[in-house]
Amino acid sequence: MYGFCQQLIPYLVFSSSIFLSLNSALRPLYFKLTLAALLTCGLISRCACTNCSDISHKPVDNVTDDTIIVHSQRIDRLLSAPRKPLKFTDTEGRPVKHKVRGVGDYKTCFPDLNDVQLLTAERLGIRSITDRQAAQNNKIGLVYIVDNQLYRIHRLSHSTPYLVPRAARLLDEIARNFTDSLRMKGFPVYKLLITSVLRTEHDVEKLRRVNVNASENSCHRFGTTFDISYNSFYRVIDPESNEQRQVWPPLVKDILAEVLRDLRQLGTCYVKYEVHQACFHITAR
């Protein structure tokens, strides 16, 4: 286009002889057409001299059409950001009253069915493992999780305490936010109870014999998924306190639900409210 304009410009230069040979009705039209052509070629010529004409279509690093991977990269950046400090007072130094508001209907707030979670679990997790011995022999891509200051591993009858790194980090984030929320609302310290983690194919088979609701295509097989109890929490006793305040369990459940709702809305996880298992079923995204 640029070369074509360079060849065309000499023929578009305003000619007084042509102008005078035209009748008075055509002269304004000839003048306008000549001016428009010159302006158009001028703009094309200017663009050709800039970087616009030299656009490189080289692939950009870490760019993919896989929406699950793209989303996971965004979540990695989000969870790597520094945590905001807690604020217990307002600008005038007065204590801030944080209330437990809950999330309304649990099923509506946490509707992510197994089929929804399964696609992400398969894409971001490990390949399913046959049995516990195979899990012990091949821990590549897995993190061993144990009791710590944030949560406790409940007695695991049909799973083993391993997660992929992103799921382990999400679990830490949930537990930290839960602890922070308890403090902000003036509650005593409780730890989360983790009731299910990585399941082998053999674990899934055994579980289905005793639990008709257990899925054959369990997300737990990929190390991206864990369950957190909402009926039971581990009470941390302060040895220096004479009064050990007891809290009605549904209130603690509401605080956990608020934390999960906020993280789910940020896109960090899928959450399913499990009625029969009394847990939140969570898959890292």
What confidence tens digit (pLDDT) does each residue in 53-64 have? 333 333 334 556
pLDDT at 76: 94
Number of neighbours of residue 37 by Cβ within 10 angstroms: 15
Place of tokens 């690093």: 61
Per-residue model confidence (pLDDT) at position 148? 96
| CA separation for the pair 2, 104 (Å, rounded) | 64
Q: What is the rounded distance in angstroms from the CA atom of residue 118 to the CA atom of residue 128? A: 12
- Cα Rg, the chain, nearest whole Å: 32
SS percent in the chain: helix, strand, coil, step 5: 45, 15, 40
Of the candidates 144, 153, 135, 155, the residue with the CA atom closest to the CA atom of residue 199 = 135
Give the pLDDT confidence score for residue 173 in this predicted structure: 97
- Identify the pLDDT of residue 42: 55
Contacts of 40 (CB under 8 A, 6+ apart): 5
Nearby residues of 91 by Cβ (< 8 Å), 6 or more positions away: none
| Number of Cα atoms under 13 Å in the Cβ half of residue 12 | 17
Rounded distance between C-alpha atoms, residue 200 and residue 208, angstroms: 12
CA–CA distance, 254 with 84 (Å, rounded to integer) = 22
Q: How far from each other are the two terminal CA atoms of the chain, in whole angstroms?
A: 48
User: What is the pLDDT at residue 30?
Assistant: 61
* pLDDT at site 90: 79
Positions in the chain short of pLDDT 50: 2-14, 43-61
pLDDT number for residue 121: 96
